[in-house]
Every structure is written in structure tokens, then in C-alpha cells.
Amino acid sequence: MDIENEPVTVLGLGAMGTALARALLRAGHPVTVWNRTPARAEALVAEGARVAPDPAAAVAAGALTVVCLLDDAAVAAVLDPLGEDLAGATLVNLTSGTPEQARDAAARLGHLGADVLAGTIMVPTPLVGTPDALVLYSGAGGVHEEHRTTLEVLGRTDYLGADPGRAVLFDLGMLDVFFAGMASFLHAAAVVGRDGISGADFAPYAEQVVAILPATFRGLAADVDAASHPGDEDNLVMNAAALAHIVAASRSRGVDPAVPELVHRLAQRAIDRGHGADGFSRLVEEFAPA
């Protein structure tokens, strides 16, 4: 089989599943689709996709089956009943969930005879199939290697190892940073906005802070991995004072101080434990005490 044009099945035609199928069609792959609501396949059929009558026929039609359903419960409801029909199937499970769910799905489906590569899509639907897309994978390394050319149609691939939960874990970690960053910006915009400063005027200054974060992350990571938290350049006493000022300014302006208050509470707790002279990385132990 020409791996560059291998037939691919897509199970699940929500916004992301549709984007995945469309990217594969654009690249010239024969694409079979299935969705619990058949009407969602109509646009893809017009673009050249074939609709399977049921999940078993869909899986049988593809050398590779991309699974992008609502959640792990939907994966179990659609695939587990196929039983021996999954023997020899190659599945790429891109359904969102937790690391535990990804591991459980890989174990369940593997017990039925499928090879399972778990993955997570790190971009919104408009970027799927473009050079800016990133998809993280873990689990069956042989599947990633054998079908890499096809997978790269969807976006740049990073294989993170044999643990099926690892890609999802990285995804959640990245989202943790992303959502916290957006929340912090919106909180800051609310604070400065009370004094008549527009979000547009403040954003370039926020961007200057964000620009130093990559180097800051690398330094924090080194401290966390070494379990060493030097406070040579700044320390938690200094950090807590600055955080207290943010909390006070928030309250005086009628802005919910929950975001900085959380960090201040963690810093103060570390100080109370005798770590006031340590650096900010010490807070990792407040988040996850031994």
C-alpha cells in the first residue's frame, strides 16, 4: 500500500473530527467517516468522503482509524461493543480526556486486539492540517512510526513515549499554563481598567512580561528538577509583598482578588514553613506537598 495515500477512517464529526477529515481529504487520502448523527457527514461527502453505515464497517474501511469523539464514555460506547471486529485494527485516539482515561481506553481496546496510539491536538480547528498545527502522541510507537506520513497531514507530530496517558498529560499541563495566563491577563486588565486604562493600552506591557517567561520557565524547571530553590535574585518574602499589593489594589477597586490571592496564600504558607529566603520555585512543594 502507498502509505502516502492510505485509506483513513474518521470516527466522530464534531468540529475537530470534521477538520481532521477535511485535512486528510485535501492531502489525497481516501477517507471514510462515521458519526452518530449522519447529517454531519453531508458536507464531507460533497468533498469526496465515503460514509460508513456503522462503526464496524468504518474501522474495516481504513488502514488507520482516527477516533475523535466527545469523551471517553463515547469511545467506550462506540468501540467496545465491536469486540473481535477490532482485532488487527490500528486506532489513533484523539478524544479529549484525562491521562487515566487514555490509558484505560488503550488497555481496553488493546485487549480487543487493536493497536492504539493516543494523541491530543494542541491547536484550534482552523489550524488543523497547517504547518502551525501540533499534535502530541504517546502509546503504540510502532503505529506512530508506520503511519507518520499520514499523521503529519494533520500537523507536526511529537511522540512522547509508550505511556498512552503521557500526551494527554502534556496537553493538560500546557492548558494549565494557558488558562492561568489568560486569567491573569484578564484580572490585570480589570484592575487597570478601573483607573481608565484600556485593555489595548495595557496589552503591550503585558506582552513584555510574557516575553521573559520562556527563560523564567527554564529556570524554574531546573530548580524543580534539582529540588533546589535558591533565592539569590529574589525570594518569597519579596514576592509575597508584591502579591499583597496586587491583592490590595484589586480589593480597593472592587475587582475579585482570587487569582493573586491564591498565589499570595501559597507564598505566605511557604514563608510560614520557614522558606521565606527561598526562590519562587519553592511553591511547587505547596502545590504538591511530599
Hey, where are the domains in the chain? Answer: 3-161, 170-287
- What is the C-alpha to C-alpha distance for residues 3 and 1, in angstroms, rounded to an integer? 6
pLDDT value for 3: 59
Q: In what order do the strands lie in the sheet with 8-11?
A: 50-51, 31-34, 8-11, 64-67, 90-93, 115-121, 134-139, 156-159
Cell, residue 249: 489594589
Q: What is the pLDDT of residue 130?
A: 97
Angle at CA of residue 138, ends 140 and 86, nearest 5°: 40
Using an 8 Å Cβ cutoff, are 20 and 135 in contact?
no
Grid coordinates belonging to 190? 480589570
Determine the pLDDT at residue 275: 98
What is the reported pTM? 0.92
Per DSSP (E only), the strands in the chain are: 8-11, 31-34, 50-51, 64-67, 90-93, 115-121, 134-139, 156-159
The one-letter amino acid at 229: H
Among candidate residues 127, 124, 166, the one with its CA nearest the CA of residue 144: 166
Question: Which overall architecture, per CATH, does domain 170-287 show?
Answer: Orthogonal Bundle (1.10)
pLDDT digits (tens, 9 = 90+) for 96-139: 999 999 999 999 999 999 999 999 999 999 999 999 999 999 99
pLDDT band at 91 (very low <50, low <70, confident <90, very high): very high
CATH architecture classification, 3-161: 3-Layer(aba) Sandwich (3.40)
Give the phi and the psi of residue 114 in degrees, each rounded to 5: -90, 150
CA pair distance 274, 173, nearest whole angstrom: 29
Q: 3-class SS at 94?
A: coil
Q: Are 67 and 91 in contact (CB under 8 A)?
A: yes
